[in-house]
Structure 1
């Protein structure tokens, strides 16, 4: 960018550079820069840096994130990365001889990706112009990335215009990348090099490239919305429920005609558009965050709509007035504030399951920690919710967090929260951790056995002292919560192997509940099949779907290693695939349907084995009968001699003669064998 009437070659001239340096020195010494010495946006940026107490001797950005947090950062910016990175890599060869690098940063100025001339990588590394480093104005002064984010427009910063002295030997051009659907800033694109690489075309190049990325983002977003609607169509069509479809950012995509009235009953006043977007929809859907400003979300059912591991969006469902109470007690993903009795969502009456529920009901009355032990998919979270609802803390929050699959740093911040500025990339307002969010309620930590060893003593201290420290804070915060933990691991064995702390184990396992796997409560299968078939028929509008006999037998005879979760998924897929309302073996997952073939093979094998056994017995009996016949003939009808020759008792010989009907054939008189 340039001042009106100022030739671009003067923009990077030595004379102007000298003038800008003089203005900077005067400002640093507490004076004022002369009018016209600086471009307006540079002058304003320098004053922001002064107000923010940026050190003018700062040699570059703060140190980069470690590999784990950087990976998490890239995952959080997956949509931007997925579209932008191919464009960035396309420029690699073009930039390889220009002495410049192309950079992609997130909305906080954290660099996500870098490509360009390898000769400039070493000086770029010296100022931390690399992935994982923050280039906002408050971190390293006036620079194209940080200033573009402040102004939200294209920016070119050259040489001495940088606020921090060690960075003044650089030149950079940047512009923001906006979401084409709502205009929010998704990130920033920048090209940087040493001052001698300055080109008046750099800014136009970067603006053009950002435009291409935004166009691709728009196409990408529309394709995802179309796939989202395809997956929701079966539920939305012809339903009496109110259904709202939102994308993965919580933005409204579609609402069926019943939605305004149905959601008005939940508390939405006025047009539905005013309730959107819901930026934390993903965390609310999994129960890891309670909606703070929208009470109606606690009453709506939230269903994730996925494509493999990719979340396309969510369905928000408000049941029709006549069916609302019944559905809220049936649907497993209903909001935590529903009024269903504790443990009512756990289906089954088998002795093993009832014993586990009775133990949980008894333990819910106390506030001691509870450890739930069971295989994946047995319903440990349902037990945790039941304990919460049956306790004196039922009016407080129920906060859930899965300790598996998270990096150490991410899990730490999720558990304990952090203060403003606690680390590079931290939210400006800080973050409340799950422990603090569960105050006066229940904290459910699933897969507790996956928690890293070095985090465990901090959790133990919270349990012992009833207080936490947010990351970056020195002041304790009092917390009062009930902990329910769950694991599929043998924690005693992990303690013995040094993989889990003994002191934390005994603090967690004050009481424990073993939840039986589905294979140990086969008598519950008919009830579970009926329950999930009913729920999923209602959900997808397939009112007449039924199992045929072969499919039903497969479902009853399958071992269900994934337990209730696997059973639910199998029925859900079968309901969606059923033709003509009849669910057959071919509609079941292959591993479940395979039991039909196995049963047939077993039956065939059984029949074949029986026939072989029968044939074998017949052959032996024929041989025995022939031996008896020969012995009697050789003894000329003297049965005493024949029995001795055969090595059997005379009474046994009598029985075998009757068995094989030999009396008439051998001319043995009736009175002798009677």
Structure 2
């Protein structure tokens, strides 16, 4: 790099004018114009940058700028110490220090207030886009483009409006991948700038890289510790841990054959793209073909998403096959028949497999699914697969017990604990479920004030009856069920975050019937056989048209609604063939033109299920009132908030 004394303002300006007018240098390389500057001018020209530009572009959208700064929070944090150390000296030097992201957009700027104000005239400020393809040769954009420090003085800038400035930029490299993730730049008027400032920004960039490395190492160590201390780390044999950038930082229990075929699983390899914005369903699809994940658990530090544990499918073990019958034998000393989970769709096969593995791991399980999908069958499945066939199974519906009594129901109470307490006290559901399964249905309805006590019982494995101080150890497998989105309940403050992570060590999502494809036909056959045997009637059959309609139907009441529909057929039919005329009018309404007035099929209809009837009434009223929700609420006699809540519960689209 030429020193400052070799720079000639007149020669450089003549060379620049000749270049922008002709698109090339006059006689080979012009005197006193550095090779790196010429190369940058050529790139600027090829990118279509206007040499007469007076200012760079701006990111004016405040939300977009906010998201950009949040996305680079780690970089900004790593730079904060260096910026704070240098800030007092910048004011005396009439200079500003800038931090730009990997696209050349300024995300932080400090220094002399007067210079900062002047920088706004050319958009050298927060949100300014200083990539080389936007504004041409400059310290930020050229350092980004070349991956090397860049010193650009006055007329060396490609855009005329920037030639009253001098800048020195140094790229910041990711300490693990060595990719350029940002630039630190020192800018100011030409008369106060010296070439050795390149050394200053280079030192600042190295300081930021060291801070980044320390920051990431601490974060990775914390992630690993959090995972190894968690219950779900012991629930799976084959595990790969990735950080937020998708890089492998830990693996365990992988078959040698899998490791040979999948070099992507080596520690340090970037297995996935950045996890921000990716759903749990999208992440497995982005894995290499040789790697198959059967589950994922997001990992958080201080409530912020920082990585994920991928539970890999062990192909050496027996896997449940599609179509394989899943039977649940009657409980010991309980008068009940055999129960069967019907369905061969991939989602159901996966859910059944997870439930069977959950029975082998002594962890809490959260079963999530809409009303009527059969969540209780999965709780029974877990119980039925326990090694002890005499293990108790104790169900509790949290929504069916008043908030005043649910504590006594769960933990029991001592004699005289409250008015009406039975003599001698009484054991609670936890004690009754000792060495077995306690199934808490509608866990989202548990009062917030009672949740800390549940969390303490799960962590201490002991209870205290209400009104007494005696510690009673319990060994209970908790299975919680809900049709609510507990993450949203956490945001609303009605469910504790720590309890959510404690009960959801393993989460099983039971798919709604509308997503299970031909499972509808399997369930029709199963319930038809069941009701034929119970009533002594001939088994009914269905026309192709009926099957077509039932496969297209949205089933808001899920499996429960389908079962009720089949039972209805057996009650009202005098023959054994079900035709389109036998379908309830509420169901047929879904296929009439009016049912799609709001842009999507409303998926209404019901078959005797009270919740389905309520959902159908809401849909019909929305249609009749042409989507005016204020009138809908008035006609139904409920408040607007109640209407919104019910629409969310029944998956009704907001018009």
Q: Which residue of 2 aligns with 1:151?
A: 146
Q: Which residue of 2 aligns with 1:9?
A: 5
Hey, what's the Cα distance between the residues in 2 that align with 1:23 and 1:72?
41
Hey, what's the Cα distance between the residues in 1 that align with 2:145 and 2:370?
61
Q: 1:52 aligns with which of 40, 47, 55?
A: 47
**Are 2:15 and 1:23 aligned?**
yes
> Could you give the per-residue CA deviations for residues 184-230 of structure 1, whole angstroms, max 9, x where no partner exists?
21211001011122112211111111111111111111111111121
Hey, what's the Cα distance between the residues in 2 that align with 1:327 and 1:343?
12
CA 1:352 to 1:92, structure 2 compared with 1: closer, same or farther past 3 Å? closer
1:470-619 matches, cutoff 5 A:
495-496=629-630, 514=649
**Are 2:24 and 1:32 aligned?**
yes
Instruction: Report if the CA contact (8 A) 2:236-2:311 is conserved.
Output: no
TM superposition shift of 1:299: 3.0
TM superposition shift of 1:233: 2.2
Hey, what's the Cα distance between the residues in 1 that align with 2:234 and 2:113?
59
Q: 1:206 aligns with which of 201, 208, 215?
A: 201
SS, match of residue 486 in structure 2:
coil
Instruction: Report if the CA contact (8 A) 2:321-2:349 is conserved.
Output: no
**Are 2:362 and 1:354 aligned?**
no
RMSD over aligned CA atoms reads 4.7
Instruction: Report if the CA contact (8 A) 2:184-2:201 is conserved.
Output: yes
Hey, what's the Cα distance between the residues in 1 that align with 2:223 and 2:369?
42
TM superposition shift of 1:376: 3.8
SS, match of residue 313 in structure 1:
strand
Hey, what's the Cα distance between the residues in 2 that align with 1:30 and 1:193?
30
Hey, what's the Cα distance between the residues in 1 that align with 2:510 and 2:369?
20
Hey, what's the Cα distance between the residues in 2 that align with 1:385 and 1:352?
8
Instruction: Report if the CA contact (8 A) 1:262-1:321 is conserved.
Output: no
Q: Which residue of 2 aligns with 1:415?
A: none
Q: Which residue of 2 aligns with 1:286?
A: 280
Q: Which residue of 2 aligns with 1:170?
A: 165
CA 1:196 to 1:349, structure 2 compared with 1: closer, same or farther past 3 Å? closer
Instruction: Report if the CA contact (8 A) 1:74-1:112 is conserved.
Output: yes
Q: TM-score, normalised by structure 1?
A: 0.50
Q: 1:112 aligns with which of 107, 115, 123?
A: 107
Hey, what's the Cα distance between the residues in 2 that align with 1:350 and 1:383?
5
Q: Which residue of 2 aligns with 1:340?
A: 348
> Could you give the per-residue CA deviations for residues 287-329 of structure 1, whole angstroms, max 9, x where no partner exists?
3566346235553422222112223322222244466747999
TM superposition shift of 1:392: 7.5
Hey, what's the Cα distance between the residues in 1 that align with 2:128 and 2:97?
15
1:219-618 matches, cutoff 5 A:
219-234=214-229, 241-256=237-252, 258-261=253-256, 263=258, 268=262, 272=266, 276-284=270-278, 286-287=280-281, 291-292=285-286, 294-296=288-290, 299-321=293-315, 325=319, 338-341=346-349, 353-354=371-372, 375-377=484-486, 385-387=511-513, 389-391=515-517, 495-496=629-630, 514=649
**Are 2:37 and 1:42 aligned?**
yes
SS, match of residue 496 in structure 1:
helix
Instruction: Report if the CA contact (8 A) 2:142-2:150 is conserved.
Output: yes
Hey, what's the Cα distance between the residues in 1 that align with 2:193 and 2:366?
73
SS, match of residue 340 in structure 1:
helix
TM superposition shift of 1:78: 1.3
Instruction: Report if the CA contact (8 A) 1:263-1:318 is conserved.
Output: no
Instruction: Report if the CA contact (8 A) 1:240-1:320 is conserved.
Output: no
CA 1:174 to 1:389, structure 2 compared with 1: closer, same or farther past 3 Å? same
TM superposition shift of 1:169: 0.7
Instruction: Report if the CA contact (8 A) 1:23-1:32 is conserved.
Output: no
Hey, what's the Cα distance between the residues in 1 that align with 2:290 and 2:346?
12
Hey, what's the Cα distance between the residues in 1 that align with 2:145 and 2:368?
62
Instruction: Report if the CA contact (8 A) 1:262-1:318 is conserved.
Output: no
Hey, what's the Cα distance between the residues in 2 that align with 1:349 and 1:309?
22
Higher helix share: 1
TM superposition shift of 1:39: 0.7
1:69-148 matches, cutoff 5 A:
69-148=64-143
Hey, what's the Cα distance between the residues in 2 that align with 1:223 and 1:124?
37
SS, match of residue 130 in structure 2:
coil
Number of residue pairs aligned between Structure 1 and Structure 2? 389
Instruction: Report if the CA contact (8 A) 1:248-1:314 is conserved.
Output: yes
CA 1:26 to 1:462, structure 2 compared with 1: closer, same or farther past 3 Å? farther
